[in-house]
Amino acid sequence: MSKTFRAALAGAYIALLGGTTGALAEEWPTRLEGHGGPVKSVVISADGKSVLSASFDYAAILWAIADGDAKIVHRLIGHEAAVNDARFVNGTFAVSVSDDGSIALWNLESGEMASRIDEGGDKMLSVAVNEDGSRAIAASWDHNAYLYAVEEGRLSRIAKLGGHRGNVNSVEFLPEGKGVLTASYDGGIRLFNAASGELEREIYAHGWGINVIKAMPNGKTVLFGATDGAVGLVSIAAGEEVKVLPPHERPVLSLALSKDGTKAASGGGDGKIRFFSTLDWALEEEFENPYGPVWGIAITPDNTLVLYAGLDDHVKAWQVSPRKPFEPVDNDFPRRFQISETDDPGELQFARKCSVCHTLKPDDANRAGPTLYRLFGRKAGSLAGYPYSKALKEANFIWTEKTVSDLFDHGPDVVTPGSKMPIQRLKDETARDALVAFLKRATDPANGAANKKEGAQ
C-alpha cells in the first residue's frame, strides 16, 4: 500500500469520526486479516467505521470498515513484545499496552507513536480511557495499575494504584469521573479515586481471580468475569453480587458492552460467546467456536454483530441479529503451531516453538520475528527491514548450527541478553538436534524446503 493511499485512508478515517451511523451487518467483512500472530483484543470506534486490534505479532492495527471490507489504515509498530490491548482516544489517538511493560500513545492520522512510558518488565494486560480522553489507565502484572494524563499528544503518569495482592488483569473508568476500578488475580475488585489514584476500598472479593471487568453506564454496577468461569454483576455501593449470569466452563477472558449499554457479551476459554440484554439480563444468543479461546470481543454500534479474536491471525465476525440459520465456523485448523502429525520431530518442534513468530519464506508475513529464510551464515540482527532490538543489532556472532543450538539450550536471555526474543528453551538434546537439523534444511533455498514447509501454515 502506497504512502499516498495510506494518507488518504487516514484522512477518510478522521473525517468519518463525525459520523453517527455505523456499518450495518451486511457491510462488515467476515474476517479482518492482516496480523501475523494470534489476536489479543478488538475494539470498535463509536461510529462503527473503524476498528483497533492488538496482536501477539507486536503490533496493533487501525482498520477502516466500508462496503463489506476492512482496509488497514496503519500498522502501529513500536512495542517489543505482544500487544495485549488497545483503545481509541478522542478519535485522533489510540493507546496500547504490551507484554514489554509499556503503554504507548499513537497518532492515528500519521500512524506514528506520539508518546511511550515504560513501567518495567512486567506485562501490561489491559488499558482503558475515560469519557473525554484526558486520562488512561493500564493494568500491570507488577500488582499495580497506572493512571496517566493524555495531554497535547503526550502521556504523563499521575499515580501508581497499589494495594493488590496479585496481578492486575483489568481496569475501567466509572462515568463522570466517579472513580477507577481494578480487577486482580487476588479475586478483588477495587475502587480508586479518579483524580489522585488513592485507594478508596475493595468493593468485592470473589475468591477466584478476576480476569476482566466492564463498568456499566449507570456508574452503579460492574460486570465481571473470573478464572472459575463465573460471570456476574456487582453493586459498587453494596459491594455484593446482584446478578449471577450463566458461567463458562473455562475462565472468562473477555467482556463487551454495546455503545447504547443495552447489550453485553462474554467470551471464554471454552470458545463460547454469550450475548445478553442488559435490560433484564436475559441470554439472547450463544455461539461456540470449537477451535479455541475468545480473548477479545466487541459489539457493533447497531448491536447486530460481535467481532471476536483468539488464537487465529485474524478477527472474525459473528452475526447476532438476524441470527443466521446455519453458522459454519470459518477457521483454519489445525493452526501452524498446533500440528501433531509429522514424521519429522524437528518440524514438530519448529511448529510449537518458532512458527508463531517466524516464517521460513522470504516474507515475514507480519510475524513478530524476522523470517528464518537463509538463516544459517547470517550475522545476528542483520536482516534488512526488520526492527531489531539494540541488543541484537550489536550482537557479534553468526547463526550456525552451534549458535542456534545454544539459543535453545541456554535461552535468549543468556545468548542474546536484552533482546525482545521470548524465552524458549529446549533442554532435551535429541529434540534440540532435530530442530536445528530441520531449520538447516528448511531455511536453505537450495533445498526448496522454504517453499514446501511452513510448520503447517
Judge whether 135 lies within some domain. Answer: yes
Residue 122 burial (CB count, 10 A): 16
Residues 58 and 199 in one domain: yes
Query: In the numeric block, which cell numbers belong to residue 251?
Result: 475462565
Q: Where are the alpha helices (DSSP H) in 214-367?
A: 345-353
Judge whether 197 lies within some domain. Answer: yes
Domain of residue 261, CATH code: 2.130.10.10
Supply the pLDDT for residue 52: 98
Strands 83-89 and 93-98 come out as antiparallel
Residues 92 and 211 in one domain: yes
Supply the pLDDT for residue 7: 44
Judge whether 324 lies within some domain. Answer: no
Instruction: Give the sign of the dihedral formed by CA 384, CA 456, CA 81, CA 174.
Output: positive
SS3 state at 129: strand
Amino acid at 178: K
Residues 174 and 246 in one domain: yes
Domain boundary among the residues 277, 302, 319 is at: 319
pLDDT digits (tens, 9 = 90+) for 30-55: 999 999 989 999 999 999 999 999 99
Judge whether 330 lies within some domain. Answer: no
Supply the pLDDT for residue 189: 98
Judge whether 335 lies within some domain. Answer: no
Residues 388 and 257 in one domain: no
Long-range contacts, stretch 396-400, CB < 8 angstroms, 24+ apart: 399/375, 400/376
Supply the pLDDT for residue 273: 97
Supply the pLDDT for residue 14: 42
Supply the pLDDT for residue 448: 60
- Model confidence, pTM: 0.83
Supply the pLDDT for residue 451: 45
Domain of residue 442, CATH code: 1.10.760.10
**Rounded (to 5) percent helix, strand, coil in the chain:** 15, 35, 50
Evaluate if residue 13 carries a pLDDT over 50: no
Q: Which backbone phi and psi does 151 adopt, to 5 degrees?
A: -135, 130
Query: What whole-number distance in Å separates Cα of residue 371 and Cα of residue 374?
Result: 9
Judge whether 84 lies within some domain. Answer: yes
Q: What's the pLDDT band for 18 if we cut at 50, 70, 90? A: very low
Q: Identify which of 159, 156, 203, 211 has the alpha carbon closest to the alpha carbon of residue 186.
A: 211
Supply the pLDDT for residue 341: 66
Q: What's the pLDDT band for 326 if we cut at 50, 70, 90? A: low
% of residues, the chain, pLDDT over 70: 88
Burial status of residue 178 (CB atoms within 10 A of its CB: 0-12, 13-18, 19 or more): middle
Residues 67 and 209 in one domain: yes
**Number of domain units in the chain:** 2
Residues 308 and 360 in one domain: no
CA 224 from centre of chain: 19
Query: What whole-number distance in Å separates Cα of residue 74 and Cα of residue 8?
Result: 11
C-beta separation of 266 from 254 below 8 A: yes
Supply the pLDDT for residue 24: 58
Q: What is the mean pLDDT of residues 333-342?
A: 62
Residue 419's alpha-carbon distances to 77, 195, 391, in angstroms, are 16, 37, 5
Evaluate if residue 279 carries a pLDDT over 80: yes
Residues 78 and 37 in one domain: yes
Partners of 1 in the β-ladder: none
Residues 35 and 79 in one domain: yes
Domain boundary among the residues 319, 354, 374 is at: 319
Supply the pLDDT for residue 260: 95
Domain boundary among the residues 319, 336, 365 is at: 319
Query: What whole-number distance in Å separates Cα of residue 117 and Cα of residue 379?
Result: 31
Query: What whole-number distance in Å separates Cα of residue 456 and Cα of residue 336?
Result: 4
Supply the pLDDT for residue 339: 66
Q: How many CA atoms lie within 13 Å of 26's alpha carbon, on the beta-carbon side?
A: 1
Cα Rg for the chain, rounded, in angstroms?
22
C-beta separation of 42 from 297 below 8 A: yes
Lowest-pLDDT range of 65-69, 166-170, 266-270, 351-355: 351-355
pLDDT digits (tens, 9 = 90+) for 184-206: 999 999 999 999 999 999 999 99
Residues 285 and 402 in one domain: no
Evaluate if residue 333 carries a pLDDT over 90: no
Residues 315 and 352 in one domain: no
Q: How many CA atoms lie within 13 Å of 153's alpha carbon, on the beta-carbon side?
A: 10
Query: In the numeric block, which cell numbers belong to residue 20?
Result: 453517527
Residues 269 and 412 in one domain: no
Evaluate if residue 81 carries a pLDDT over 50: yes
Average pLDDT, the chain: 88
C-beta separation of 124 from 116 below 8 A: no
Q: Which backbone phi and psi does 140 adopt, to 5 degrees?
A: -120, 150
pLDDT digits (tens, 9 = 90+) for 83-120: 999 999 988 999 999 999 999 999 999 999 999 999 98
Judge whether 70 lies within some domain. Answer: yes
Containing domain of residue 306, as a range? 3-319
**Nearest 10 degrees: Cα torsion 136, 140, 145, 151:** -20
Residues 297 and 243 in one domain: yes
Query: What whole-number distance in Å separates Cα of residue 147 and Cα of residue 172?
Result: 11
Query: Please, what is the Cα angle at 365 between 364 and 371, to 5 degrees?
Result: 15
Judge whether 340 lies within some domain. Answer: no
